[in-house]
């Protein structure tokens, strides 16, 4: 177990589990603070933690409270992030700013993975990753998730990258950054709310034990990158691919017409898609997240074993 910086607070339950070699699963908090409407965000947070506990794993939802990064938020901490006004979104670069200004913040995939690794947690679940944005050849707009994961040895379960991004370019960047990507029972890379993004994967695994073996092999080689497990949503529960493609094209056109770019683009597109699908994309998003949390708990048990 690594020794985390004193500025990071780790819940006693998480510390005890890590000391005993018991399974722990890290969960991000920007899905709660910026990805879901109230009160669904709090409901989802509590349901997810219970899902993890029911699997015999200790949940560690990660966020920032009054400037202090917390690994293993209490119920009060979760409620605060889900209901308070002025909660910001923090990637790794934002953590010192949040600390200096004593801000409350939801942590992105990058910040959550970084904090989880510093605490000694080996497995994390999220919904969809950040990646390379469309038009990045001109804007250089790329999520900090990618370079952070290149230097953070954690096993991360996601449903691919958000489909509003340039998925092909993201996969190329993951290869360049030497980040292994494996499909869970699939050779097709998922597209978040759709099961198949149209891109193939060279490698696949069939069981949580295989994911644990892959992480162990990475550690034996002394490599520093994350291992990404791409877990597609059940095809029967995905957003209809034809509807997805049509609405996404409309969302991109609307963003261009409104001049929305940079940091504001992703929330604009996700909100547009949610409204245009009558809330269906939100329900699929929740289905995606539940599936990734369930698989992450299984992999955490396998890693601990």
Q: Which of 89, 162, 287, 298 is catalytic?
A: 162
State yes or no: cis peptide before 39, omega within 30 of 0. yes
Residue in 93, 105, 103 with CA at minimum distance from that of residue 34? 105
Catalytic-residue membership of 138:
no
Confirm whether 28 is a catalytic residue. Answer: yes
Q: How far is CA 100 from CA 5, 75, 108, 144, in A?
A: 16, 24, 19, 21
Alpha-carbon distance of 3 to 28, in angstroms, equals 21
The number of residues making up the chain comes to 305
131/246 Cα distance (integer angstroms): 21
d(Cα 101, Cα 87) in Å, to the nearest integer?
12
Catalytic residue among 28, 49, 142, 287: 28
The CA distance from 197 to 239, in Å, is 12
The alpha helices in 93-144, defined as continuous H runs, are 95-101, 109-119, 136-139
Q: How far is CA 292 from CA 26, 238, 254, in A?
A: 12, 14, 31
Q: Which residues are catalytic?
A: 28, 162
């Amino acid at each position: 177990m690594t020794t985390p910086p004193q500025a990071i607070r780790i819940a006693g339950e998480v510390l005890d589990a890590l000391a005993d070699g018991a399974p722990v699963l890290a969960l991000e908090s920007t899905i709660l603070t910026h990805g879901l409407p109230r009160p669904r965000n709090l409901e989802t947070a509590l349901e997810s933690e219970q899902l993890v506990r029911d699997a015999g794993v200790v949940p560690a939802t990660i966020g920032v409270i009054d400037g202090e990064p917390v690994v293993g938020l209490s119920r009060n901490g979760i409620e605060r992030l889900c209901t308070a006004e002025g909660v910001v979104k923090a990637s790794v670069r934002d953590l010192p700013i949040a600390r200096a200004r004593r801000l409350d913040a939801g942590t992105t995939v990058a910040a959550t993975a970084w904090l989880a690794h510093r605490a000694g947690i080996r497995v994390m679940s999220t919904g969809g990753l950040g990646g390379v944005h469309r038009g990045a050849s001109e804007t250089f707009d790329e999520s900090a998730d990618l370079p952070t994961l290149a230097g953070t040895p954690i096993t991360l379960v996601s449903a691919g990258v958000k489909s509003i991004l340039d998925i092909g370019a993201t996969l190329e960047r993951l290869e360049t950054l030497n980040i292994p990507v494996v499909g869970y029972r699939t050779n097709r890379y998922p597209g978040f709310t759709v099961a198949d993004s149209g891109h193939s994967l060279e490698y696949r695994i069939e069981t949580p034990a295989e994911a644990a073996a892959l992480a162990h092999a990475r550690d034996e080689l002394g490599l520093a990158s994350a291992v990404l497990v791409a877990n597609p949503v059940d095809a029967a529960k995905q957003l209809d691919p034809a509807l997805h493609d049509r609405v996404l094209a409309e969302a991109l056109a609307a963003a261009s017409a409104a001049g929305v770019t940079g940091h504001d683009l992703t929330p604009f597109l996700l909100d547009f898609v949610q409204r245009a699908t009558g809330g269906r994309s939100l329900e699929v998003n929740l289905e995606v997240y539940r599936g990734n949390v369930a698989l992450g708990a299984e992999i955490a048990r396998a890693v601990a074993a």
